[in-house]
Amino acid sequence: MKNELTDRQREILTFIEQFRNENGYPPTLREIGRKFEIASTFGVKRHLEALVKKGFINIESNASRGITSLKNEFGLISDKLFQTESNFTKIPIIGRVAAGTPILAIENIEVSLVIDSSFLKKTGDYFALKVRGDSMIEAGIFDGDFVIVSSRKEALNGEVIVAMVGDEVTVKTYERSANQISLVPQNKNYSPILIDGKSEFSILGKVTGVIRLLN
């Protein structure tokens, strides 16, 4: 047996892939059969077994919709993108911004976001944060926006930064005078946060991008 697919098998493999992309779960034997007008589940099953034997899928026994590990005719799809194109950068989205909870715990990283590297300046550490509140709307940063942040510990006047004040993370404009650091909101309804010697304060990074998703 050659490890090449017959036309029929290729059709079915393609259908499984499409189905999963559309529905979020693989098809059942009967759903495949309906599509290809195969009346017997056994007919379908043997196609799947052929696909397993040839290494294109795995099937979890006795599990409904138990098709896993899709490959296509060219081999593993999962590796394909990373081999050919490497100009993407994966950015972790740092956990929930709830007051009082530690946010920068690295274990909190649940989701990543991949963006075109051309959006970023140099190589460096980036992370993303979902913004809460409207204190920066005049700078075009709205509640629910994602900000892309370049990690750094210092900032220049006028830059939009992400800072840690006490145990809260905040996005503000950085203003430093002779002996006073101000975190200035871009919204008339809010007042600057003044940093005195006592406050726990640190700069986490500079905002280098904003992403907003609408419905």
Q: Name the residues that contact a second copy, by CB under 8 A.
A: 14, 17, 20-26, 28, 60, 63-70, 72-78, 80-88, 93, 96, 110-111, 113-116, 118-119, 122, 130, 137, 140-142, 144-146, 160, 207-215
Q: What is the largest CA-CA distance in the chain?
A: 82
The interface partner of residue 14, options being DNA, a second copy, none and the CB cut-off 5 to 8 Å by kind, is: a second copy
**Stretch of residues binding DNA (CB under 7 A), selected from 44-52, 120-128, 162-170, 184-192:** 44-52
Given the residues 86, 112, 151, 172, the one annotated as active site? 172
Q: Applying CB under 7 A, does 63 fall inside the site for DNA?
A: yes
135 is catalytic: yes
- Which CB, 130 or 152, lies closer to a second copy? 130
Quote the least distance from Cβ 29 to DNA, whole Å. 3
150 is catalytic: no
- Both tokens of 131, joined, read 């913004």
Given the residues 135, 150, 188, 198, the one annotated as active site? 135
The interface partner of residue 3, options being DNA, a second copy, none and the CB cut-off 5 to 8 Å by kind, is: none
- Which CB, 127 or 146, lies closer to a second copy? 146
Q: Applying CB under 7 A, does 41 fall inside the site for DNA?
A: yes
Q: What is the DSSP string of 9-30?
A: HHHHHHHHHHHHHHHSSPPPHH
**Stretch of residues binding DNA (CB under 7 A), selected from 54-62, 117-125, 128-136, 162-170:** 54-62
Q: How far is CA 171 from CA 2, 65, 135, 191, in A?
A: 59, 45, 8, 13
Quote the least distance from Cβ 215 to a second copy, whole Å. 7
Cα gap 43→60, rounded to integer Å:
18
Residues 6-25 binding DNA (CB under 7 A) are 6-9
Quote the least distance from Cβ 18 to DNA, whole Å. 17
Q: At what angle do helices 7-23 and 41-53 cross, to 10 degrees?
A: 100
Q: Is 100 helix (H, G, I), strand (E, B) or coil?
A: coil
Taking the chain, what is the end-to-end CA distance rounded to the nearest angstrom? 50
The residue among 182, 190, 201, 193 whose CA lies nearest residue 141 is: 190
Q: Is 80 helix (H, G, I), strand (E, B) or coil?
A: helix
Cα gap 35→12, rounded to integer Å:
9
The answer to whether the CB of 16 falls within 8 A of the CB of 67 is: yes
Residues of this chain that bind DNA (CB under 7 A): 1, 6-9, 28-31, 33, 36-43, 45-47, 50, 59, 61-66
Residues with active-site annotation: 135, 172
